[in-house]
Chain A
């Protein structure tokens, strides 16, 4: 989805280096998320933010930190990268506003960016 962009798209780094992955969105959504994907394991939630002043840990936050600089920007940092952090990283956004019919009144559908492929040597 072009409304959610991630930079860089690919990055190779060495063990111990500090890395920042950035996510920007033009959808006007308050909620943003960071996931990682490993082969055979699906996507797992790292951190999420429901608004600029709200930051929450997901299921695998150890070794990561985040910064919500503005509604449109959510950055993920690896303070000291290690090889098992090699993965695909995805940012997502969502909007919990009510819509439509009874069954569809709650969407909060998440929309994903194109991903960052990170390799830690």
Chain B
């Protein structure tokens, strides 16, 4: 599975959009980009995933660059409850283990 690089921490004002970047320059054509978040010691929560097209759901939007070497998770109107560690993960569907490789993620602090 490709490795990802994320900034260790970011701040965002409540009500503003939070844009969390992720670099995955070694991603291969059959690897998906997944985003999870973990609110202090709780179980990781699935947010969104995509292959090459941009995706949007009720939680967030995922923007993947045309070369697929980076992506951005967008929380359109951040709230205090969005304070969490956000993990960007790339993986092949159908691999031997289907395991998720979690890096150290980005700690997003939403400020009032």
What is A's interface to B at a CB cutoff of 8 Å? 1, 4, 31, 33, 40, 42-43, 45, 48, 50, 56, 58-59, 88, 90, 92, 94, 96, 103-104, 106-115, 117
Contact = CB atoms under 8 A, between A and B. Distances in A.
A106 B104 contact: no
Contact of B41 (A40, A50, A88): A88
Q: Identify whether the interface residues of A are mostly helix, strand, loop, or mixed.
A: strand
B46 A104 contact: no
Given A33-B99, A42-B102, A104-B51, A90 B43 contact: yes
B55 A56 contact: no
Contacts, number: 69
A112 B43 contact: yes
B103 to A, nearest CB: 6
Interface residues of B, number: 26
Given A104-B50, A107-B49, A4 B99 contact: no
A34 B21 CA distance: 28
Contact of A40 (B52, B99, B101, B104): B104
A106 B93 CA distance: 7
A90 B103 CA distance: 16
A84 to B, nearest CB: 19
Given A112-B43, A117-B41, A43 B93 contact: no
Interface in B91-109: 93-94, 97-105
